[in-house]
Structure 1
Amino acid sequence: MQSRRVPAEGLFIVSAISQYIGAAIAISVFDQVAPQSVGWLRVVGATVALWLIARPRLGQWRGRKLRGAAVFGIATAAMNTFFYLGIARIDLGKSVAIEFIGPIAVAAFATRSLRNAIALGCAITGVLVLGGVEIGGEPAGVAFILASSACWAAYIVVGSRVAVSSSGVDGLAVGLAIGSLALVPIGAPWSGPVWGAPLLLLACLVTGVFSNAIGYGIDQYVLREVSVRRFSVLLAMLPVTAVIVGWVALSQQPSALDLLGIIAVLIGVSVQERDTAQTVDPVVQVA
């Protein structure tokens, strides 16, 4: 009997829940550890977990392949750090909505049909509704989230190349190892409190297991199955999940307008074309 593949939408729900459970844990320790240090330890925790699982062969990572993994890992690590600096100042749901500008730009560049344009429009509308118009007078938080958004776009485009050029989560493991080293000057100097508190250190590392090892590991699988355009629109499910996790774990209750935003996102995700990774992808061609 032939096994049935789990739909990309289902995998995204699992990935999103895992990522924002990690984010909720991270927010809970921000009053004890600087966000940039939590971001660095998140990448370190994910790196350790992925290397224990994947055990990548370093001899296979040379030249262009290694450079691609390095760019991917540094972009991912920077995205995590900027995101944590942002959610320390702005609600989780609003932060993810603003951050979604990056995937929207990637999806818009790759959209070539009316059906996909309508799907993208619904997703954008939903994300804007979820994001709201009030940002709590936190321009620094918005700036950090916009920086994370740019890194997210790079994560998608470069990550698709890494996914198809490697097996399993090898590329993610190698990339995050490089990214964790790149973040040492930013994360290590403010990480002092964790070294005398084992449970606090464990909480920071566990965020990496949930958010990066599981969440981004699923992304690597999905990027081998669907096009960059479809992947970018599917990411609209993340703001939806962020609002739900923020409600359940952080008491950030959604409004009726938020529910309308969620419906718009789900419509956008459901009506788009089901193109695969083998579909000609203008974003990856140009990148």
Structure 2
Amino acid sequence: MTATLAPAEQLGNRLHGVALILVGMSSVQFSAALAVSLYPVLGPLGVVTLRLVGAAVLLLAFARPRLGGRSRRDWLTIGLFGVVMAAMNVCVYLSIQRLPLGAAITFEFLGPLTLAIVLSRRRLDLVWAALAGAGVLLLGSGLGGVDAVGVLFALAAAACWAGYILLTRRLGQAFSGMEGLALGAAVGAIAVLPLGIGAAGAELVRPEYLALGLLVGLLASAVPYSMDLLALKRLPAGAFGIMMSLNPALAALAGFLVLGQELSWAQLLAIGLVVLASAGATAGAGVSGKRSPRARSAR
């Protein structure tokens, strides 16, 4: 589409796409910071339940998916997607309870980064993998008395994120629009609901917390997914993936501005190394003609 546009129009189109991505990523990371502020009342399991239920309600209302005419394979994909999405969110929220937001998201980002490197199979990707490994080691040593359980939760979230990306591709191939995402989000909300009820009980149905749950669901799922869809119409998949590499840095900024979580220069350098490695791996995948696995992930 952009090939028929004048150079100035192409530049404007791409800048518009970049702006959409930045809005979507900022929405995700600042919603996570807002969710953390609810931990003292609801705990991480209560907060993630409100987030997923809010996201499911909004997506179902928007997509209005049909239930009939689905094959057994379609329902299996929906079920796996929902369970993986629920596990990913539970693990990352439990990690954020124990680690600074920027550090938790950096560890979690190893999932899509590893997937990009594995799918690319370029020699240069070994350099990016080494750079990411150095960043992770530096981040771990810079945290001082790092919470091992928090790191394990973040790494589990990373593994789930990689699976989430692959299942998102399957959903995109099997369903039109956002029908598959909406049904998968509903499965995820149902899967996590017993955990949330057990952790927060009646607090979950207080009107003010329900409203915040819808807000977090809107900011964490509905807004960024819509921004991603619009941005992918204006940017190549490789450029999109490079922009998504900024997520750990934006998480660190959100943690600082909203939660007052300060990071040392060593920790910021570590996050920067992971961001650089992810951008390099994604750019390489784009140059080699392969589609970035991050390009279709609706985090």
TM-score, normalised with respect to structure 2 = 0.78
Verify: 1:20 aligned to 2:23, yes or no: no
**How many residue pairs align between the two structures?**
280
2:97 is aligned to: 88
1:20–1:245 Cα contact (<8 Å) kept: yes
Q: Output one character per residue of 1:154-201: Cα deviation in whole Å (capped at 9) or x when no partner.
A: 111111221233333222111011111122222222232435632122
2:290 is aligned to: 279
1:49 is aligned to: 58
Q: Output one character per residue of 1:217-261: Cα deviation in whole Å (capped at 9) or x when no partner.
A: 55567789637xx84x65432111101111111111233334444
Tell me the secondary structure at the aligned position of residue 34 of structure 1: helix
1:19–1:215 Cα contact (<8 Å) kept: yes
Verify: 1:38 aligned to 2:47, yes or no: yes
Matches within 5 A, 1:1-287: 4=13, 11-119=20-128, 121-122=130-131, 125-126=134-135, 129=138, 133-134=142-143, 136-195=145-204, 197-218=206-227, 226=237, 231=241, 235-261=244-270, 263-265=272-274, 267-268=276-277, 271=280, 272-273=283-284, 275=286, 279=290
Change (3 A) 1:180 1:223: farther
Cα distance in 1 between the residues matched to 2:271 and 2:150? 23
44-53 vs 253-262, which moves further: 253-262
Cα distance in 2 between the residues matched to 1:235 and 1:184? 29
Cα distance in 2 between the residues matched to 1:234 and 1:131? 25
1:35–1:85 Cα contact (<8 Å) kept: yes
Pairwise CA RMSD of aligned residues? 3.4
Q: Output one character per residue of 1:28-78: Cα deviation in whole Å (capped at 9) or x when no partner.
A: 110000211211111100011111211122235432122212211211111
173-182 vs 49-58, which moves further: 49-58
Tell me the secondary structure at the aligned position of residue 152 of structure 1: helix
Once the two structures are TM-superposed, the CA of residue 119 in structure 1 deviates from its matched residue by 4.9
Tell me the secondary structure at the aligned position of residue 176 of structure 2: coil
Once the two structures are TM-superposed, the CA of residue 93 in structure 1 deviates from its matched residue by 0.9
Uncovered stretches (5+) of structure 2, i.e. residues with no partner: 295-299
Q: Output one character per residue of 1:118-144: Cα deviation in whole Å (capped at 9) or x when no partner.
A: 455555555655565426452332232
Change (3 A) 1:239 1:280: closer
Q: Which amino acid aligns with 1:174?
A: L
Identity of aligned residues (%): 33
2:297 is aligned to: none
Cα distance in 2 between the residues matched to 1:222 and 1:78? 27
Change (3 A) 1:282 1:190: closer
Once the two structures are TM-superposed, the CA of residue 26 in structure 1 deviates from its matched residue by 0.9
1:93–1:239 Cα contact (<8 Å) kept: yes
TM-score, normalised with respect to structure 1 = 0.81
2:197–2:204 Cα contact (<8 Å) kept: no
Change (3 A) 1:84 1:168: same
Cα distance in 1 between the residues matched to 2:183 and 2:227? 16
21-30 vs 53-62, which moves further: 53-62
Once the two structures are TM-superposed, the CA of residue 152 in structure 1 deviates from its matched residue by 1.0
